[in-house]
């Protein structure tokens, strides 16, 4: 990285699972660098969903380095997820034609419930599959898979946890970490957000800010996708040997079903 920016830049790893992200600082300039980020980043920047993309450079080995403006700020707190700016930014993402067009050009195709169920079921090991709560959930998911189909397919983030919402010091809200972006039912994002942060009696008001009304079909879709995502979370925590967190997700699954 030093040869890309110059020896005067201080560059340190930014953490994360991939080890491909870095902070760079020189005098009053601060950048967030990432190796081999998706071309999707340019559209996200242009739409104002992520901090501004400053430049991209291709290295001799074929790697592409992207540099974004580094912003001082903080992640949203769980209680702040009920704010209208969260609903409105998610609506903007789900309605964005440039973002949808770019994902299509990158080869992404719309995911149907059956596709996603097959993907998640293949991830689960025998220990997880034999849990009583998981067996009940799989039965529910298979029974309702044909009933949760939805014609609307949009760009979904896939992990709208409060940790991925960045509020800058100048009060600008961003949604970051787009590695799991997909084209799918918007209920994938809406369900996890509502079940995790918004009391059910407040769903109609939050969804009104987002721009839709509560229906029985929407509630079924929300429940279906949250149950599916929870199965993935259970397996992920088990793989990481984070058994208390795994058990917490099992209990959450029991509440849903």
Mean pLDDT is lowest, of 35-39, 97-101, 216-220, for 35-39
Q: CA angle at residue 120 from 111 to 116, to 5 degrees?
A: 15
pLDDT recorded at residue 13: 79
Strand order in the sheet with 64-69: 10-13, 21-26, 29-35, 64-69, 53-58
pLDDT at 19: 54
Q: Report pLDDT digits (tens) over 151-185.
A: 999 999 999 999 999 999 999 999 998 989 999 99
Indicate the pTM of the whole model.
0.88
* Residue % of the chain over a pLDDT of 70: 95
Q: What is the per-residue pLDDT across 55-77, written as a single tens digit (0 to 9) for each?
A: 888 877 777 888 888 888 999 99
| Concatenated DSSP letters of 33-72 | EEET--THHHHHHHTTSSSPEEEEEE-TTS-EEEEEE---
Mean pLDDT of 143-156: 97
Q: What's the token pair of residue 163?
A: 């940790």
For the cut 80, the answer to whether the pLDDT of residue 37 exceeds it is no
Write down the pLDDT at residue 234: 98
On whether the CB atoms of residues 51 and 71 are closer than 8 A, the answer is yes
Token pair 């199965």 is found at 231
Contact 149, 113 (CB under 8 A): yes
Two tokens at 174? Answer: 């961003």
Task: Please write down the long-range contacts of 211-215, taking CB distance under 8 Å and 24 or more positions apart.
Answer: 211/87, 211/91
Q: For residue 19, how many other CB atoms are within 10 A of its CB?
A: 10
Please say whether the beta carbons of 143 and 223 come within 8 A. no
Q: Is 193 in contact with 223 (CB distance < 8 Å)?
A: no
- Residues forming the active site: 159
Report which of residues 3 and 73 the model is more confident about: 73
Q: Which domains does the chain have, with CATH numbers?
A: 2-70 (3.30.200.20), 75-256 (3.90.1200.10)
Q: Taking all residues of the chain, what is their mean pLDDT, rounded to a whole number?
A: 92
pLDDT given at position 76: 97
């Amino acid at each position: 990285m030093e040869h890309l920016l110059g020896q005067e830049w201080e560059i340190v790893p930014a953490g994360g699972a991939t080890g491909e992200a870095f902070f760079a600082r020189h005098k009053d300039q601060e950048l967030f660098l990432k190796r081999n980020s998706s071309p999707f980043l340019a559209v996200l920047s242009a739409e104002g969903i992520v901090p501004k993309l400053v430049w991209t450079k291709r290295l001799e080995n074929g790697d592409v380095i992207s540099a974004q403006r580094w912003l001082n700020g903080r992640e949203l707190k769980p209680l702040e997820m009920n704010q209208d700016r969260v609903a409105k930014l998610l609506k903007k993402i789900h309605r964005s034609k440039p973002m949808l067009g770019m994902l299509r050009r990158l080869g992404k195709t719309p995911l149907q419930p059956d596709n996603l169920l097959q993907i998640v079921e293949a991830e689960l090991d025998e220990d997880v599959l034999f849990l009583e709560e998981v067996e009940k959930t799989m039965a529910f998911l298979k029974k309702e898979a044909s009933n949760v189909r939805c014609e609307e397919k949009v760009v979904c983030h896939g992990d709208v946890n409060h940790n991925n919402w960045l509020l800058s010091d100048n009060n600008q809200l961003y949604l970051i970490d787009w590695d799991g972006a997909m084209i799918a039912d918007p209920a994938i994002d809406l369900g996890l957000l509502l079940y995790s942060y918004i009391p059910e009696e407040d769903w109609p008001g939050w969804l009104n800010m987002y721009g839709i009304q509560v229906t029985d079909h929407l509630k079924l879709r929300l429940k279906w996708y949250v149950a599916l995502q929870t199965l993935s979370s259970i397996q992920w925590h088990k793989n990481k040997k984070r058994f208390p967190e795994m058990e917490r997700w099992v209990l959450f699954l029991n509440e849903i079903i």
